[in-house]
C-alpha cells in the first residue's frame, strides 16, 4: 500500500457523514411554511396555531435527532468495519510477501527432522539471524503486526469476529512455531507482545 493510499485510508476511517432523508428535510421546511400561512389566514385561531406550531417543531426536532443518531451509529459501525478490513488487506499486500516468504523458509529449516530438540532449534535460529539479519527483522515485523491487531481487538476498535475468522489459524501457527523465540525475546518479562499473548490464549481455546 502506497503512502498516499495509507493516508487516504486513515482519513476515510475517521470521516463521519450524517445523512438525513430528503423527505424529512422537505417536511421540516414545509411544516413551518404552512404554519406561518395558517397563522395569517386565521387570525382568530392564533393561540391554537401557536400550540400546533410548537408541537410540530418539537416533533420535527425529535425526528431529526432520531435520524442523526441512527446515521452516527451507522457511521461508527462502518468505520469499525473499515479499520477491521485494513488488517487482511495489509496481510495480503505485496509489500508483506517478502516477510512471509522468508518466515516460511525459516520455519521449514527450524522444524526439519534433523533438528531434534528445542535447544538445537534455539541455536539454529541464532545462526540463521547472524547469516541473514533481515530474517530477524522480517520475523519482528510479522509479530509486531499481530501485536498491533491484538491491541485493536483488546480495545474494541475492530471487529474481533471478522478478524478471528480470517487470522485464527494463521496467528496460532505463527505463534506456536516461534513461541520459544517470543519467550526468549521477552526475557522473563511480560511487557512485550502482551496483547498477542492474550489473544493467542483466547483464540486457541
pLDDT digits (tens, 9 = 90+) for 152-204: 999 999 999 999 999 999 999 999 999 999 988 877 666 789 999 999 999 99
Quick one: pLDDT at residue 55? 57
d(CA 190, CA 205): 21
CA distance 160 to 196: 13
The answer, yes or no, to whether residue 137 has pLDDT greater than 90, is: yes
In three-state secondary structure terms, 100 is: helix
pTM strictly above 0.75: no
Mean pLDDT of 22-40: 59
Residue 158: phi and psi, rounded to 5, are -135, 165
Q: Where are the beta strands (DSSP E) in the chain?
A: none
pLDDT reported for residue 79: 86
pLDDT tens figures, 94-113: 999 999 999 999 999 998 87
Least Cα distance to 101 among 133, 139, 148, 130 occurs for 139
- How much is the average pLDDT of 33-43? 61
Q: Higher-confidence residue: 73 or 86? A: 86
CA distance 72 to 63: 14
Q: Distances from the Cα of 124 to the Cαs of 18, 104, 105, in angstroms?
A: 57, 15, 13
Amino acid at each position: 500500500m502506497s503512502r498516499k493510499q495509507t493516508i487516504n485510508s486513515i482519513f476515510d476511517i475517521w470521516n463521519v457523514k450524517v445523512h438525513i432523508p430528503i423527505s424529512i428535510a422537505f417536511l421540516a421546511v414545509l411544516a413551518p411554511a404552512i404554519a406561518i400561512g395558517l397563522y395569517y389566514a386565521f387570525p382568530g385561531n392564533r393561540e391554537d396555531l401557536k400550540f400546533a406550531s410548537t408541537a410540530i417543531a418539537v416533533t420535527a426536532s425529535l425526528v431529526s435527532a432520531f435520524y442523526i443518531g441512527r446515521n452516527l451509529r451507522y457511521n461508527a459501525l462502518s468505520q469499525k468495519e473499515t479499520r477491521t478490513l485494513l488488517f487482511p488487506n495489509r496481510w495480503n499486500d505485496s509489500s508483506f510477501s517478502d516477510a512471509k516468504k522468508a518466515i516460511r523458509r525459516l520455519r521449514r529449516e527450524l522444524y526439519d527432522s534433523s533438528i531434534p530438540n528445542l535447544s538445537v532449534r534455539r541455536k539454529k535460529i541464532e545462526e540463521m539471524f547472524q547469516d541473514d539479519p533481515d530474517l530477524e527483522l522480517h520475523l519482528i515485523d510479522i509479530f509486531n503486526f499481530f501485536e498491533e491487531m491484538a491491541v485493536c481487538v483488546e480495545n474494541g476498535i475492530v471487529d474481533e469476529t471478522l478478524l478471528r475468522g480470517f487470522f485464527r489459524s494463521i496467528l496460532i501457527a505463527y505463534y506456536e512455531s516461534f513461541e520459544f523465540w517470543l519467550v526468549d525475546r521477552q526475557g522473563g518479562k511480560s511487557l512485550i507482545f502482551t496483547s498477542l499473548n492474550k489473544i493467542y490464549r483466547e483464540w486457541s481455546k
